[in-house]
């Protein structure tokens, strides 16, 4: 029995090299039949190894049987007995014989090889990675199949007490525990400066068990046991981040990477508004969220796109005319670097808005805005109505109470919703046309 060992990383593979099962070839070409003596023989007697018959010259047949024994892979059977001619159906038949003690020695060699195969899983346990497991199992099953084939052919020669190896893939997989296969990655922040911002670390683990334990070392003395932790570096430098993953039986894997943390010289210009669309005249608050990693912010300059400017940190602004406006913010820090941020706002025409407040005199409003498009005034009536550009101003005793949109009777005053009960109660009597 000859064996070859090969090492791939942490995985050891074992391949059998049977020098040539010429016994099978010879059998198929020469009509070989195997048999064992059933009668009791003494220890110094012999086992029949094989019998070969062929319709060829006797000398050629003798050489063929010699080769059969010599190259069959039965290393313990070198000292076989002299070949002798036997009579059968064919003209020339020769058989080779070996002693019982030699056959027992061969059986012990097979037993040792089987034990080696049985301990192979134990030797590989907790050494290979989970990603290698399918390939390793394939190799183990191949070795076992090779052994089983040799055992079957050997049992044709004479009885053996050995049993074959188990070829059940599920059982082999269940008895082989692998180290977790681990990969790690991280999501950089603040334009890859990774300084004073939350980095997201991601672990990618494959293992037989889902109950693995995570141990992160961020390289600055800080640790975490979360699967995908977040972390903030507050100092510049290069940090060696290590992840150790361990399964329930103690098999573990370690991976690491280097995180570069460096503060950027230029500041970060950033601002937001509550919405991107506003009505004309509506007050807009610009929330400045700019910051710098070097020095301090020293100046803010706003351009609102309508010719107006501001140098406040969080200004307010409103647009008189509808349209689209590009707002630009420029911020500078104490080390002399500046950055710019911009955002486009859409200003909508406010058809329901009237430039009037509750309690405004109707006469004063007309003096400023001119005569209405239409009006409903009843003599000795408390309520009256005046239309301006599709909006009805509802007045009581000459004072404006509320504004009503002509279509749908939607109530609005200066852009602020206000319930106006007058038109609901008196629409039929005073403002039939509003329907």
With 60 as the cut, is the pLDDT of residue 102 above it? yes
The verdict on residue 293 lying in a domain is yes
358 in Cβ contact with 402 (< 8 Å): yes
Give the strands of the sheet with 181-187, arranged side by side.
181-187, 198-206, 230-232
Distance CA(120)–CA(12), nearest Å, equals 8
Q: How many residues does the chain have?
A: 435
Distance CA(135)–CA(120), nearest Å, equals 14
Residues 237 and 381 in one domain: no
Q: Identify the domain boundary among 204, 229, 260.
A: 260
pLDDT at 383 (0 to 100): 75
Longest dimension (CA), the chain: 148
With 90 as the cut, is the pLDDT of residue 158 above it? no
The residue-averaged pLDDT of 398-402 equals 83
Helix extents (H) in 125-182: 133-155, 169-174
pLDDT at 79 (0 to 100): 41
Residues 41 and 146 in one domain: yes
What tokens does 317 get? 């602004």
Residue-wise pLDDT for 57-80, tens only, equals 556 655 655 565 555 544 344 444
Residues 90 and 9 in one domain: yes
Residue-wise pLDDT for 414-428, tens only, equals 444 444 554 444 544
Residues 206 and 310 in one domain: no
Structurally, the chain folds into a number of domains equal to 4
Residue-wise pLDDT for 299-323, tens only, equals 999 999 999 999 999 999 999 888 9
* Cα-based distances in Å from 402 to 374, 405, 409: 16, 10, 12
Q: Check which CATH number belongs to the domain holding 212 and give it.
A: 2.60.40.10
Residues 74 and 162 in one domain: yes
The verdict on residue 266 lying in a domain is no
| pLDDT level of residue 398 (50, 70, 90 thresholds) | confident
Distance CA(347)–CA(324), nearest Å, equals 6
The verdict on residue 402 lying in a domain is yes
Task: Measure the N-to-C terminal CA separation of the chain; round to a whole number of Å.
Answer: 106
Question: Hey, is 233 helix, strand or coil?
Answer: coil
| pLDDT level of residue 156 (50, 70, 90 thresholds) | low
225 in Cβ contact with 215 (< 8 Å): yes
Paired strand residues for 230: 200
Distance CA(301)–CA(99), nearest Å, equals 105
The verdict on residue 353 lying in a domain is no
Residues 17 and 96 in one domain: yes
Residues 71 and 130 in one domain: yes
The verdict on residue 196 lying in a domain is yes
With 60 as the cut, is the pLDDT of residue 30 above it? no
pLDDT at 298 (0 to 100): 96
Residue-wise pLDDT for 365-374, tens only, equals 888 777 887 7
Global pTM reads 0.56
Q: Identify the domain boundary among 123, 151, 174.
A: 174
Distance CA(344)–CA(324), nearest Å, equals 7
Q: Identify the domain boundary among 260, 290, 312.
A: 260
Residues 58 and 130 in one domain: yes
Distance CA(331)–CA(312), nearest Å, equals 11
The verdict on residue 354 lying in a domain is no
Residues 335 and 385 in one domain: no
Residues 17 and 103 in one domain: yes
With 70 as the cut, is the pLDDT of residue 235 above it? yes
Residues 127 and 159 in one domain: yes
Residue labelled with tokens 């016994």: 23
The verdict on residue 298 lying in a domain is yes
Residues 136 and 19 in one domain: yes
| Domain of 318, in residue numbers | 271-348
**Residues near 409 by Cβ (< 8 Å), separated by ≥ 6?**
423, 424, 427, 434, 435
Question: Hey, is 279 helix, strand or coil?
Answer: strand
The verdict on residue 355 lying in a domain is no
pLDDT at 257 (0 to 100): 96
């Amino acid at each position: 029995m000859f064996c070859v060992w090969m090492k791939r990383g942490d995985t050891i593979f074992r391949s059998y090299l049977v020098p040539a099962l010429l016994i099978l070839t010879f059998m198929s070409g020469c009509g070989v039949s195997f048999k064992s003596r059933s009668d009791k023989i003494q220890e110094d007697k012999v086992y029949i190894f094989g019998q070969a018959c062929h319709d060829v010259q006797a000398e050629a047949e003798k050489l063929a049987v010699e080769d059969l024994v010599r190259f069959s892979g039965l290393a313990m059977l070198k000292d076989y007995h002299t070949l002798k001619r036997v009579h059968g159906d064919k003209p020339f038949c020769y058989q080779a014989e070996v002693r019982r003690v030699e056959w027992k020695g061969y059986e012990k060699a097979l037993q040792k090889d089987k034990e080696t195969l049985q301990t192979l899983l134990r030797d590989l346990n907790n050494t290979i990675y989970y990603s290698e497991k399918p390939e390793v199992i394939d190799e183990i099953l191949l070795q076992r199949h090779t052994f089983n084939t040799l055992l079957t052919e050997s049992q044709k020669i004479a009885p053996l007490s050995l049993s074959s190896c188990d070829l059940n893939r599920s059982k082999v997989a269940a008895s082989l525990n692998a180290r977790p296969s681990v990969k790690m990655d991280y999501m950089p922040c603040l334009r890859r400066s990774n300084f004073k911002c939350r980095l997201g670390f991601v672990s990618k683990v494959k293992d037989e068990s889902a109950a693995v334990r995570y141990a992160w070392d961020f390289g600055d003395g800080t640790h975490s046991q979360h699967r995908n932790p977040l972390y903030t570096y507050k100092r510049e430098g290069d940090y060696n981040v290590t992840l150790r993953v361990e399964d329930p039986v103690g098999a573990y894997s370690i991976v690491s990477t280097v995180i570069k943390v460096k503060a950027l010289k230029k500041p970060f210009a950033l601002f937001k508004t509550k919405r991107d669309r506003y009505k004309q005249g509506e007050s807009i608050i610009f929330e400045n969220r700019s910051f710098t990693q070097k020095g301090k912010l020293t100046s803010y300059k706003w351009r609102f796109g309508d010719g107006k400017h501001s140098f406040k940190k969080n200004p307010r602004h409103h647009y008189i005319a509808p349209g689209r406006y590009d707002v630009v913010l420029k911020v500078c820090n104490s080390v002399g670097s500046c950055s710019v941020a911009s955002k486009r706002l859409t200003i909508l025409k406010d058809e329901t808005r009237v430039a009037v407040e509750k309690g405004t005199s109707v006469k004063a409003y007309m003096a400023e805005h001119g005569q209405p498009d239409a009006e409903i005034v009843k003599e000795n009536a408390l309520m009256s109505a005046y239309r301006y550009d599709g909006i009805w101003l509802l007045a009581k005793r000459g004072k404006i109470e509320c504004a009503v949109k002509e279509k749908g009777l939607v109530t609005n005053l200066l852009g602020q919703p206000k319930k106006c009960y007058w038109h609901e109660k008196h629409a039929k009597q005073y403002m039939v046309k509003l329907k």
